[in-house]
Structure 1
Amino acid sequence: MSDATVALGAVGRPGEDADQTVFMRKTPGQSRSEPELLTHREPEPDYGDHDDYDDYDDEPGAAEADGPLTDEQRAMRRKKIWRRVRRTMYVGTALMIIIPVLAFFITYQFVEVKKPAEVAAEQDKVVTLYYADGKTEMTKIAGSGANRIMLEYNQIPKHVLHAVYAAEDATFESNAGFDITGIMRAVWNNVTGGGGGGSTISQQYIKKSSGQEDKTLSRKWVELVKSYKMNETYEKDEIITAYLNTIYFGRGAYGIAAAAKAHYGVDISQVTKQQAAFLAGMIQTPSRWKDVEYQHQRWNYVSDKMVENKWMTKQERTEPFPAPLPPSDNSSTLPGPRKGIPDLVTDELKALNISEETMKQNGYKITTTIDPVAQDLAEKAVAEVMAGQPDNLHPGLVAVDPKTGNIVAYYPGSNGVGFDFAKARQEPGSAFKPFDLVGLLKMDKGLGEVYDSSPKSFGDRDEKVRNASTPSCGQCTVAQAMKESLNVVFSDMVYNDVKPRGVVEAAKEAGIRSPLDKAADDINIAIGGGATQVSTVDMASAYATFAADGIYRKPRLVSRIEYPDGGIVFNAATHQDFQERPAFDQDNPERNQKIARNVTESLLPVPKFSRIECANDRPCAGKTGTHQYLDTKDNSKAWMVGYTPQLSTAVSLSGDKTMIQLRDAKGVPIFGSGLPGKIWKKFMDSYHSAKKLPKEQFSKFVPIGKAEPVAPPPTQHSSSAAPPPSTEAPVTTTTTPEPSETAPTTTTSPTRTRPTRPSDSGGISIPGMGGDEDENDRWGSR
């Protein structure tokens, strides 16, 4: 019997032969089976190949078991497969439409839009700052109710509205509360990890009123629905009025009217078109209201957008930047040097995506890392050492706990809300030489390596790099060169061995966070000159890494944030941004520790050599540094950075625009071992004494590479080998890359360097040339 037939049971009509068997045609794909007992079976009609016929007989190998498929059967199978694909696509498309619409409808029913008065009340909560013990109150950041002015729509000038539209939402008057293009851009940025959002003014109001600023799609979804509901519920003039009465503009000002008073001291009706562009520009990142570069950037952007939208004429665009009022110190009850701490705390939290608006909406309790004893002693040390000194001298001091990364003392200047000399970036001079040594140690060369200390040029120029004082050795070990701060040795080390990029890498690993890209091809980095600019915070933190045997802990001013009821918002000890890491070798902890400890070994003799050793024979290590002013005997920068296992402290000293040169009350040039060194010593001694800290020893020293000879023989120098102590000034090398499409190369020709005013935006160039000098007795200072 053929496979194409199926036997029916021997049941027939009455009277027929019972043995007769009827065979029926087997349908394609039907497998063999036991005969079924059928009382009756009608022949199955052939429906042909119709779209509404769906045979699910496509299990692999089913049909082939009965023989190969015909072309017609294959075609029918393909049609069935594509029919299923089409149906799946139809269902998927329907779901993609129905589900969001349904979700939108459901969300719409449950969300509520807060009224401006409610938002204002929530923004008026008080934020309390505490010292490191979490109990001693430092200050309060008051709510904004005292300076808020609630406006009506007709009280807001049209050009102010246009400036805000230009800055934040040019289609505000016509959109439905959200911008599809902006939303798609925001979704793309969220998926790809990019920045920038797609918020309209309505969405921004919702975000500020809810206090929810986390960058998630769920928050964005609710914000979008609320924004739509707001636009369905309120008129556009009500929405923009609510927005401008509640948005933050920096300087403690909530609302456009308060912002006009705070930034320009005028009523909202008196704000000019140029001032309106400035105020609107501050909405994006109000915490940067003191950043002059940011002020100009945002003002230019808004002004250009106003011209583009025909809200400002090209002639009006040529008017000068409307500088706001200078910062005032009336908003804080803290003593002078501490007045800026609340702003520093706000900036740190902003980097953690906690805005000032969020702080005030929740009335946070913030525990800082500032130790009241350490802060008192830092301010006292500065006051005593600087008493009677010229007014153009501005010290900055930062002290960091190497075991935690906590900033325990912070001195930005006598006026805490003025220029911040602790945060400002400036040339560190020879205090940067330990990072040269890190680069050398990573090459498995150590303190016993020997370099020639005689003046020499690098590259194809005749000018020579010289030492600031006469060396006690001709062929000097690295250890002796660090002790005497020999410029030639470290320039040679960096030029021939470590390379400038190796120094940049070492500095970043230790904890320098200021940008060093411009110094990456500049041999000046060997002695902390040229394009090398870092902050006092950077130096205290990086030296703390040495003190902690190579473990880097990111410096911080905030240790804990709580809700008023005690709930934890933030804990630095467990936050991923503040977890410790090996600095110099993450794969080999032993080698990492040895590198840091070898640096410490080279720095242990320096404080005593510079006559600022720690009291009572307490082990301490450090390095002084100065930066020469022009081709003179004066300096423009002076530093002392040093540490014990319990504390790392950096002290910088800068001039100002009235006089860049550093001279003390007697008219004597100042070096790192002078006023900065004296401040450092007084603070370190008093801190360890007040805290009753034991004389903790540094870890065991295991040399890397060549061991240092016990007593390297001194060498006599002729007058041609080294400059006379009273007349020679060091010449440094620098790089000034020309505009080019090719990669920059390391410049080795000795040239002059330009001193800069310290700047927290990278430094402001001052006409002149300079170099690098260090602690020396040329001018009677060690």
Structure 2
Amino acid sequence: MGRAEERRARQRGGHRAAPKRRRPEPTAGGKPAKSLIRRMFTWKKILGTFFGVCLLGILAFIGLYLYVDIPEGNAAAQQQSNVYKFSDGTVLARKGEVNREIVDLSKVPRKVQLTFVAAENKSFYSDSGVDFKGTARGLINTALGRGKQGGSTITQQYVKNYYLNQDQTVTRKLKELVIALKVDREKSKDDILAGYINTSYYGRNAYGIQAAAQAYFHVDAEDLKVEQGAYLAALLQAPSQYDWAVATDIGKRLVTERWNYVLDNMVEEGWLSKAKRDAMHFPKIKEPKGAPGLGGQKGYLVELANQQLEQQLMAQEGLTQSQAENAVVDKGWTITLNIDRKKQAALENAVRTQLTGKLDGKKRKVDDAVQAGAVSVDPETGKIVALYGGKDYYKHYVDNATRRDYQPASTFKPVILAAALEQNATTQDGKPITASTVYDGTSRHQVLDHGSRVGFAPPNEDDVDYGEITVQEAMNKSVNSVFAQMGVDVGMDKVMSTAGKLGMNTKGMQAVPAQTLGSMGASPLEMAGIYATFANHGYKVTPTIVKSAESKSRSVEMPNPVGGSVISRTAADTVTSVLTGVVDDGTAKKSVASNPLRDGQQVAGKTGTSDENKSAWFTGYTPDLVTSVGLFGEDPETKAHVSLRGATGLLPPPGRINGGGYPAQIWAAYTFGVTDKATFDLNTTQGAAVAPTETPTYSQTPTRTPSQTPSSAPPTSKSPTQTPSRTPSQTPSQTPSQTPSRTPTTGPPTAPVTEDPLDPDDDFGQ
């Protein structure tokens, strides 16, 4: 019996027949017909399509190659003046003189030439002028908007610098590819290398290797040493970031690594012996000189505007730092700044009358070491309305307003309080940290972490013991021991996290108790941003100097300087409330509260004086203006950090420049001359600006009693039953946000302060 008969027999026996599978209708040849998808996507069609696309791509590239000619190169003619304007549209400066001197390659030592090849394109002498893999990757990423591109050969970079521009578009990259191939065929490698090193931008307004050699080493290109050439080659990756005179610690580390990379590549390629390489040391970089036409404060304003525009181009268009600098410097931009012409003049005048007019380097050597920097910000908009970068851009190239190499000292204490309030932190014995919490203010009090010593016991200024003291009073008097303990109570990781959210660059900073003394580096620009965030009720303020920027081909939209909330309004407003006590009853009282120009203006702020008196600060604000003023001791020859003691003729003991002295005097002379009387709108029930609603909260038993104090007339400690902080002269209404307009706590106006008062605010880092 066959299989068909067996199946039919089973079906007759009651078994259900299996369903018949539908077969495709047979074709004319008897084979089943294919599905639509299989008919559309056959291997022959897929391969045919692939080769067709490749053929079209090849034909398109051939057409592009035939169509695109090498354009006339005239890089110098492409340079245009940038115009910088004040916020009201009046011209601040024009900058556009091209600092370039073309030199023949024969004038550049052979091994110096090779440093550039080692840095950028080791296969330069053997390749066709194009890195096809890198270019393809760049084209794809550009088309997808993925940001900065790399992988260009020296020939491609030369083409971009000399024949094209820095635009990140697919069209420009295709042109670069074609022109690079043609240039490589028509020019010698030496001509290409000469063009590359003569057209590249090296920072310091230097175009080309001759200008760069003069700018960084004060020698001609023909006199460059190999280690100097390696630095210039390394510099091209990020000219401003790698400029040793203004580089951060990270920038110095990166350029050193890049310098080593260049020399190591030369050894690898056989262009430099290992013995000579090992004997080389990082070259000494000469001090920069200001660009023509940018004397006084103009250069500082222009440089910060360029930097912020470059940062935006990097973020918006995916340029590298080097590409962004090439796209901005002398490229025909009209850049309007947020700088208010009247406020700028007022700030410069305040520094001159309150400080620099009293300096005399012929009488006192230390006077030549005094450097001042200041930044003034509108907290509601984030606009930088005034900036003081130093005595003169020609005489002091480093911008004191943006430098981050000095300690902010006690101006960091409000950040600790903000972290405590934001985290709802408690003391070691579980009591909430508020303005009324009582701490042990004993000098050198051992900081404890739940009973364990953390190995940190900072002294107070002049080693004064305050005994039991509230947080409000500790802020007023800048008591180190209190805030060191508070930092551990909150958790230093949370303190540094809050600092980062408020705008401090905390990258690489350790979360250790010593940071409670403000022992990290910070700039007046950073501190102004942090305090502006307090003034703006916790909404992040990133101080911005550029109002608008446009060129012939494009305009750039700057980001909003005011962002979202980074700490709660209650926390921010409480910090403001507490800081009014520093002005009315604390370390800034003599210079700010008693200033005859104050006229009842409500003020919050904090003084700071760093270890060994190498820096002194006052960062303060009214409801509509935040200004941070810093004084820095810098040896005019070595640039080392030095003490400010004795400057302007202040005599020991102790003769120090405190934050409550000249910095606060500059702040008051400037601020009270440009602001209108206003009142803080505070949503808090804590701090000196509002009536206290709670009694002191004790944190722990002090290790010593208040009576153990130095004989040098220390402040007396209040009894715990007394009001924890001094209150305004008027009683506020029941609504916490409606605070009274404050008047000075002293009598009639007195003459301006002419000598630096001593305040208990010297921070001694451990």
What TM-score, normalized by structure 1, do the two folds share?
0.74
User: How far off its partner does 1:83 sit?
Assistant: 9.8
- What letter corresponds to residue 278 of structure 1 in structure 2? Y
Q: Which moved more, 1:404-413 or 1:714-723?
A: 714-723
Q: Secondary structure at the match of 2:548?
A: strand
Change (3 A) 1:171 1:716: closer
Counterpart of 1:238? 191
- What letter corresponds to residue 234 of structure 1 in structure 2? K
Alignment partner of 1:479 out of 472, 475, 491: 472
Alpha-carbon contact 1:247-1:255 (below 8 Å) kept: yes
Cα distance in 1 for residues equivalent to 2:240 and 2:68: 30
Alpha-carbon contact 2:475-2:578 (below 8 Å) kept: yes
Change (3 A) 1:424 1:362: closer
Change (3 A) 1:101 1:491: same
Change (3 A) 1:112 1:519: same
Counterpart of 1:159? 111
2:405 aligned with 1:418? no
Counterpart of 1:551? 539
Counterpart of 2:24? 29
- What letter corresponds to residue 282 of structure 2 in structure 1? F
Q: String of CA shifts for 1:494-519, please: whole Å, max 9, x gaps.
A: 212x111111122122222x225423
- What letter corresponds to residue 293 of structure 2 in structure 1? T
Counterpart of 1:457? 446
Counterpart of 1:501? 493
Counterpart of 2:685? 703
Q: Which moved more, 1:290-299 or 1:392-401?
A: 290-299
Cα distance in 2 for residues equivalent to 1:709 and 1:267: 72
Alignment partner of 1:677 out of 646, 664, 667: 664
User: How far off its partner does 1:283 sit?
Assistant: 2.2
Cα distance in 2 for residues equivalent to 1:469 and 1:270: 54
Alpha-carbon contact 1:623-1:641 (below 8 Å) kept: yes
- What letter corresponds to residue 611 of structure 2 in structure 1? Q
Counterpart of 2:569? 593
User: How far off its partner does 1:121 sit?
Assistant: 1.2
Alignment partner of 1:93 out of 46, 50, 70: 50
Cα distance in 1 for residues equivalent to 2:170 and 2:487: 50
2:177 aligned with 1:224? yes
Cα distance in 1 for residues equivalent to 2:507 and 2:181: 47
Change (3 A) 1:476 1:102: farther
Alignment partner of 2:68 out of 111, 131, 138: 111
Q: Secondary structure at the match of 1:244?
A: helix
Alpha-carbon contact 2:95-2:330 (below 8 Å) kept: no
Change (3 A) 1:315 1:188: farther
Cα distance in 2 for residues equivalent to 1:716 and 1:493: 14
Q: String of CA shifts for 1:466-512, please: whole Å, max 9, x gaps.
A: 5447999755443333223232332222212x111111122122222
Counterpart of 2:607? 624
Structure 1 unpaired stretches of 5+: 1-26, 32-43, 49-54, 60-79, 586-591, 630-634, 689-693, 730-772
Alpha-carbon contact 1:622-1:642 (below 8 Å) kept: yes
Alignment partner of 2:260 out of 295, 300, 304: 300
Counterpart of 1:71? none
Change (3 A) 1:541 1:467: same
- What letter corresponds to residue 194 of structure 2 in structure 1? T
Q: Which moved more, 1:408-417 or 1:181-190?
A: 181-190
2:51 aligned with 1:122? no
- What letter corresponds to residue 427 of structure 1 in structure 2? Q
2:503 aligned with 1:525? no
Bigger radius of gyration among the two: 1
2:142 aligned with 1:142? no
Q: Secondary structure at the match of 1:405?
A: coil
- Show the 5 A alignment for 1:166-181: 166-181=118-133
User: How far off its partner does 1:617 sit?
Assistant: 0.8
Cα distance in 2 for residues equivalent to 1:722 and 1:103: 89
User: How far off its partner does 1:382 sit?
Assistant: 1.5
Q: Which moved more, 1:256-265 or 1:599-608?
A: 256-265
Alpha-carbon contact 2:130-2:177 (below 8 Å) kept: yes
2:429 aligned with 1:433? no
Alpha-carbon contact 1:251-1:289 (below 8 Å) kept: no
- Show the 5 A alignment for 1:40-59: 46=29, 56-58=33-35
Cα distance in 2 for residues equivalent to 1:777 and 1:437: 17
Alpha-carbon contact 1:113-1:226 (below 8 Å) kept: yes
2:551 aligned with 1:584? no
Task: Count residues with an aligned counterpart.
Answer: 641
Alignment partner of 2:293 out of 321, 333, 342: 333
What TM-score, normalized by structure 2, do the two folds share?
0.75
Q: String of CA shifts for 1:291-342, please: whole Å, max 9, x gaps.
A: 352654443332222222122222332233333432123x333443443333
User: How far off its partner does 1:695 sit?
Assistant: 1.5
- What letter corresponds to residue 442 of structure 1 in structure 2? E
Alpha-carbon contact 2:112-2:229 (below 8 Å) kept: yes
Q: Which moved more, 1:99-108 or 1:445-454?
A: 445-454
2:212 aligned with 1:259? yes
2:301 aligned with 1:319? no
- Show the 5 A alignment for 1:341-740: 341-353=301-313, 355-360=324-329, 362-386=331-355, 387-389=357-359, 390-416=367-393, 417-425=396-404, 426-444=406-424, 445=432, 447-455=434-442, 456-458=445-447, 459-460=452-453, 464-468=457-461, 475-496=468-489, 498-512=490-504, 514-515=505-506, 517-520=508-511, 522-529=512-519, 532-563=520-551, 569-572=555-558, 575=559, 578-585=560-567, 592-609=568-585, 610-611=588-589, 612-613=592-593, 615-629=598-612, 635-656=613-634, 657=640, 659-664=642-647, 665-667=649-651, 668-688=655-675, 694-703=676-685, 708-709=692-693, 722-724=708-710, 726=712
User: How far off its partner does 1:628 sit?
Assistant: 2.8
Cα distance in 1 for residues equivalent to 2:282 and 2:158: 28
Q: Secondary structure at the match of 2:619?
A: strand
Change (3 A) 1:189 1:477: farther
- What letter corresponds to residue 151 of structure 2 in structure 1? G
Alpha-carbon contact 2:436-2:694 (below 8 Å) kept: no
Change (3 A) 1:552 1:46: closer
Alpha-carbon contact 1:491-1:527 (below 8 Å) kept: yes
Q: Secondary structure at the match of 2:386?
A: strand
Counterpart of 2:728? none
Cα distance in 2 for residues equivalent to 1:778 and 1:524: 14
Q: Secondary structure at the match of 1:561?
A: strand
Change (3 A) 1:303 1:357: same
Alpha-carbon contact 2:609-2:761 (below 8 Å) kept: no
Cα distance in 1 for residues equivalent to 2:327 and 2:149: 19
Q: Secondary structure at the match of 1:618?
A: coil
Cα distance in 2 for residues equivalent to 1:571 and 1:649: 26
- Show the 5 A alignment for 1:66-105: 81=38, 84-105=41-62
Alpha-carbon contact 1:402-1:544 (below 8 Å) kept: yes
What is the root-mean-square deviation in Å for CA atoms of aligned residues?
Answer: 3.8
Cα distance in 1 for residues equivalent to 2:104 and 2:150: 29
Alignment partner of 2:157 out of 197, 201, 204: 204
Cα distance in 2 for residues equivalent to 1:571 and 1:273: 42
Alpha-carbon contact 1:182-1:198 (below 8 Å) kept: yes
Change (3 A) 1:711 1:669: farther
Structure 2 unpaired stretches of 5+: 1-21, 246-251, 315-323, 360-366, 425-431, 635-639, 716-756
User: How far off its partner does 1:623 sit?
Assistant: 0.8
Cα distance in 1 for residues equivalent to 2:152 and 2:458: 57
Q: String of CA shifts for 1:725-765, please: whole Å, max 9, x gaps.
A: 64999xxxxxxxxxxxxxxxxxxxxxxxxxxxxxxxxxxxx
